[in-house]
């Protein structure tokens, strides 16, 4: 097992300053619940990795990026994506949303909302997915 996976529970536990969601609940969204403290930390760690990666990406655009910097960028993005997937799996488990066909999003106040995906008016151009 990788070192990162072994240490991940400790990394999540060590999160102190939460990065809270900033989007307000939108029309047509239904609140499914509020995430637990552990999931707040998981979300924060994911966002922290993504923020660090994006800051590094900007820096690399204006300087000659080293192989180490490029590798760090890739590492941070992969870890951010992996944690985001873990977060959403845990949300579905915690709030028992597996049987719900709606999409989920995280909103202000750590609220998980469900919403129906708006179908594109140009769907006919791409065929009917059945």
Q: pLDDT at residue 120 above 80?
A: no
pLDDT classification of 1: cutoffs 50, 70, 90: confident
Residues 82-90: contacts with CB under 8 Å, at least 24 apart: 83/42, 83/45, 83/46, 83/49, 84/43, 84/46, 86/42, 87/39, 87/42, 87/43, 87/46, 90/38, 90/39, 90/42
- Evaluate if residue 31 carries a pLDDT over 60: yes
Tokens read off for 71: 């590798």
70: its two tokens: 């490029």
| pLDDT tens, position by position, 65-83 | 899 999 999 999 999 999 9
Q: What is the mean pLDDT of residues 81-88?
A: 96
Which burial class, exposed, middle or buried, applies to 45 when counting CB atoms under 10 A from its CB (0-12, 13-18, 19+)?
A: buried
Specify the pTM.
0.84
35 phi and psi angles, rounded to 5 deg: -75, 155
Domain-by-domain residue ranges, the chain? 14-117
Band of pLDDT at residue 130, cut at 50, 70 and 90: very low
Q: What is the mean pLDDT of residues 27-56?
A: 97
């Amino acid at each position: 097992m990788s070192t990162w996976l072994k240490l991940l529970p400790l990394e999540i536990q060590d999160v102190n300053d939460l990065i809270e969601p900033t989007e307000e609940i939108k029309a047509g969204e239904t609140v499914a619940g509020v995430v637990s403290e552990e999931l707040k930390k998981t979300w924060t760690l994911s966002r922290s990795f993504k923020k660090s990666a994006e800051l590094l990406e900007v820096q690399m655009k204006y300087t000659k990026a080293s192989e180490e910097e490029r590798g760090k960028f890739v590492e941070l993005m992969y870890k951010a994506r992996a944690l985001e997937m873990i977060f959403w799996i845990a949300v579905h488990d915690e709030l028992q949303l597996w049987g719900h066909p709606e999409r989920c999003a995280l909103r202000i106040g750590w609220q998980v909302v469900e919403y129906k995906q708006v179908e594109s008016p140009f769907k006919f151009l791409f065929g009917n997915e059945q």
